[in-house]
Amino acid sequence: MLSLNNLGVICISQALQHSPKLLAIRQCLSKASSRATLYNNSITFSSKGTRRHTGFRLLNESIVKHVSSLQRTFCTASAKLHCWNCGQSVEQTPAFFCLSCNFVQPPDERASYFLIMECDQTFALDTQRLQKTYLKLQRSLHPDNFSQKTVKEQEYSEYQSALVNKAYRTLLKPLSRGLYMLELNGMGIEEGTDAGADPLFLMELMEINQALDEARSKEESAMIGASMKEKLKDLTEQIDASLHKGELQAAKALLAQMKYFANIEEKVKEKLSELM
């Protein structure tokens, strides 16, 4: 009997044989200096003729995470979805409705927010087009349209509508969009960690926050708000350039700065409301 890990390896092999796109990924992986082989709950790494058996404590965690990610991708890509109502194959991704019976489908976990919102996976996306897509999808998926349908259709419409809402909110603002793009690449920004921040940058933040606390007029607060908008605009351009070049670490550092300035911008809005 095949173990789960052996089955996963077979799934990868079959997916690679039938998908040019996944074959290209395999060719990219083959350039790595170390190779990971999964078998019977252990992984053997080989490099320059040396071997080391480590179970699931791996010699190179980044490579193993990549392999695991690709394994999920291969298996998911090779599996076909079928309509829960008529049983017909659902080819499109994401699949909001079955093309055969027009019944609403459950959310497709394979689809990124960019696919859901029908836009290119780029940081500098067209937000007006994003909004038009959002309104179009909500017109067809809103739960009110399914009030007279079956319970399953009502549930799926709620799930799909909520997913579209989340995708839209995530991609609408540069900060959340950039953080999501990092997430798609297996990266993230840790919460509440200033240890690696530039001391001069932290000093600048303290001065801006102090100036905002001491502001006594709308004009003073508005000036700080305008300064934040300029900083955020400049950071947006730098992040776009870094992501376009594939410089993920640089983009991560810039997004960390953007989080701080975006937070101050929200404080400015609160301050202006208090001064009204």
Give the CATH number for residue 139: 1.10.287.110
Q: Does some domain include residue 111?
A: yes
- Calculate mean pLDDT across residues 81-85: 93
Q: Which residues, other chains included, contact 274 with Cβ-Cβ below 8 Å and sequence gap of 6+? A: none
Q: How far is CA 194 from CA 202, 210, 235, 243, 257, in A?
A: 8, 18, 19, 23, 11
Torsion angles phi and psi, residue 52, rounded to 5? -150, 120
pLDDT of 188 reads: 87
**pLDDT tops 60 at residue 38:** no
pLDDT of 49 reads: 42
Token pair belonging to 191: 């919460």
| Percent of the chain clearing pLDDT 90 (strictly above) | 61
Which of 75-79, 206-210, 214-218, 227-231 is predicted with the least confidence, judged by mean pLDDT?
75-79
167/219 same-domain check: no
**pLDDT tops 80 at residue 146:** yes
pLDDT band at 198 (very low <50, low <70, confident <90, very high): confident
92/168 same-domain check: yes
What pLDDT, in 10s, does the model give residues 94-113?
999 999 999 999 998 889 99
- Calculate mean pLDDT across residues 234-254: 95
| Residue scoring higher pLDDT (7 or 171) | 171
Give the total number of structural domains in the chain: 2
**pLDDT tops 60 at residue 9:** no
- Calculate mean pLDDT across residues 66-89: 62
134/208 same-domain check: no
- Calculate mean pLDDT across residues 180-199: 80
pLDDT band at 196 (very low <50, low <70, confident <90, very high): low
225/155 same-domain check: no
pLDDT of 109 reads: 82
Q: Does some domain include residue 59?
A: no
On whether the CB atoms of residues 90 and 79 are closer than 8 A, the answer is no
Q: Does some domain include residue 9?
A: no
Q: CATH number for the domain including 246?
A: 1.20.1280.20
pLDDT of 192 reads: 60
User: What domain range is 103 assigned to?
Assistant: 80-172
- Calculate mean pLDDT across residues 141-149: 95
Task: Record the pTM.
Answer: 0.68
Using CA atoms, how far apart are residues 195 and 213, in angstroms rounded to an integer?
24
Mean of pLDDT over the chain:
78
Token pair belonging to 227: 């300064």
Q: At what angle do helices 20-29 and 61-78 cross, to 10 degrees?
A: 170
pLDDT band at 193 (very low <50, low <70, confident <90, very high): low
Q: Does some domain include residue 219?
A: yes
